[in-house]
Structure 1
């Protein structure tokens, strides 16, 4: 069962919206500003991390590239390599000297895990610091020299080197020997293998960020070594924002992985904060609404209680009016008290009038006033109105007299359509005077139908309902139309008005011919049930009646009755005379 809507329940959503909408708007603006500020701070931190890592990488690479450059331009080393290329190292004296020099370089410089020289004749000379050997190595003698176009070439290894129980990740710097006596002459290639641990200053981005060194999308150096050798796309985390920057010196890509956990946590806390503020404001508003409306609702309850008593017939009920009431409630209470007092007085008057009416009816029955007395009296009043120049009153009195004669004489008998239309004109004249407004009446009846027969007062209820219920409360132009036409042995009569129309549910009940016992609508559309009964008595199932209406536009009454021609009426009267 639907709960009734009280004043407090109506006010509460309005107050909640009035408070909640500004809070929501302010929260959205605050959230937007916070999000923008956090994004700016994160981007600033990312830029700082990338710039710092780029500078640190340049410094570290420059240190080792300088060592490699010195080695590649050392005249003594170049001479020894040339002798090796020319097969002048039969006792491997030159190779031993180079290995000795390579071991000194590795041992004097932290981070260099090995140096490999590949001569023009593809002879490999190396020193492996991990195994402290220049004779055998699991990796140093297997390095392949790429083509170096100019300067130094940098490349990541990706795969770790096993050294005991440890895994060593390295990157390499590669240069060709340079003989300034003939710069186009190829002597050999030097490969410097460096432990990625030396890149720790580059990879250390502090809290909430990680730095990766990439080559062709693959991680070659990372703070977490288990990620080395993997594709960056495979190592990505949705909680991180990835930003890249190219290192111009090495061609390596520096990738900053910025954690967004703090960012999301801050936004979540802000949202929870505003939710708490909104819930608190709503609860406070509900408490204030309850406390502020309580005295007013108490006064309204008193009015409602008095109205309930009046509804049950107790018109002695009154609303107590106090000085503490608001002006509006006091006016309502006083107005209700006055209204109930007037109703009580009117009921008493009605009771007295009913008694008087009964007495008058008894007197009228006793007196048995002759109708001719009424006609003569109306005629006397008519002449009196003419003497006083009240011609409009005289016309109305004449119409009333005609109506009385028409209704009293042979009530229920048949009459001609012409006489019925004349009587309706008199009736409409009186209704127009009662209505007090201009009413346009349009009658469309062919002259050949004037002599056809119709039962008296059959159309009066439709005309009365059209004026009383369709046109009385309508603003603007008022129109009433009566149309008749004959077809197929049936007389089709239409009574149309441009009034307020009939609601759909009422229209359905009016068109329900089986619902004759339902008197619900007869109050508003009086006489309809009675007309249906008369049609059934007069014509049986040969007559039909239905209503057509558009709310606010028009109402049409369609009446179908059998055609009764003047010749048929004359034949019936002749048979009656012969029978007599």
Structure 2
């Protein structure tokens, strides 16, 4: 060994030392960094995928809630209840059926994706309207449904709740298969809540679920796909429509997650889209629906990208190594002291001290000075990157904690209200149950996106629930009429903008004993603008109080009676950029009228 070392030239010895002290450690550092980078990428992919699945679940529930509102418009309407009574009693069946069908036809095209609307009376009479084939008066899907008509009726009418039936094959029309999922509810006669009138079923196109699954990404064959699986392990929406209805072998939608993931991998491999692949499968379970949302990512594509990056890094590393050896051979005599300086710095860096820097002196050859500058810059970047990564991890942890804190209280409150609601139902306290349901709806509506814009129809629905609670609290001391012109139903206004004015009319205006109080809320369109008028026949204000409120001056501590009107007026001015018109006309003992006029959307 000594003889071998003695026969080496100083040039070769320096090259050997350089390789041993810098290249090899850098190689190990590169391998470690590559491994760590791959690990971080996979962890980030898992986190982002779970967040995406949660967002898909939220969007799916919002979609279902919007169509539940349509079902609500049917099963609570007095006309529908009356028609169902006529069908049950066998009175004027032809006329009643036509009236009911005209009403359902109007709703059939009110929202996209509605395939059919069906009602079944307690006597077994069925009326349907749909868009799935030419015979619009015959039910197109019930013959293919897994339940017969009587079992379906008994299932839905048993409880006062929504039933959501997963996607099933419905019919074939014009050479195209149609798949539907269904939202059903018992028709309720609020004069007799226990009375069985019938049920209503709104059938929706599976494309609605498909659009939610692929809302934020394009369908890329062989790269990734999303699936929706019901509680029985049946696929109810996915990348390929032909998969709908297939059941994972021995599966249950709520089973052990590892077993479910293995079955999904097997299913995808059996129906491979392009080339054989291994899938990373992520799942999210909606506990209320008992549906599982699946995202499967082709791992082969990931490793191909990593392998390509490593090959490029290796090629660049080898190129730099060759250049360095060449320069060393050209500058042997001048490099001896410089190499010692560089190797010493590299050893310190290899021990974990990223603050080390190679001093740049005039005596350094240009090549070593370049290496030293690159080395110094790399360590500075590594130090900055390490600090940023640490700060990012801390910020991410804080954000996750805040998100959890923001979810805990509302969910606890909703669960508590739901428990109280069922306690009231068990005791047949249906008024209390309705009040609790209205309160839960009001809280959920108020907490979600407080300053967002909503359609007039949504704000009106919230107002009805809010007024119902106030009437219940005040023992029906007042009557409320809400009139909405059809042309303004889809206009947008800011959420809860009207609440302070309505609350003021009720709590201030109706505080004295009187034979009958009246609250009227009117939504109309005048000269292309949305106009809202809130009128009550309550106590009213003095003119001086109205003037002070309109000027935005705070109320004296000893003066009470109105509820946050200054802030409400300020919100109105901010949301309309000062282009809206708000008037308050009030007289003591005669009542108050509030008029709001909103600018056109394109003004």
Instruction: Give the TM-score band, short-chain normalised.
Output: 0.3 to 0.5
TM-score (norm 2): 0.42
Larger Rg, first or second structure (1 or 2): 1
If the length of structure 1 is used for normalisation, what is the TM-score? 0.44
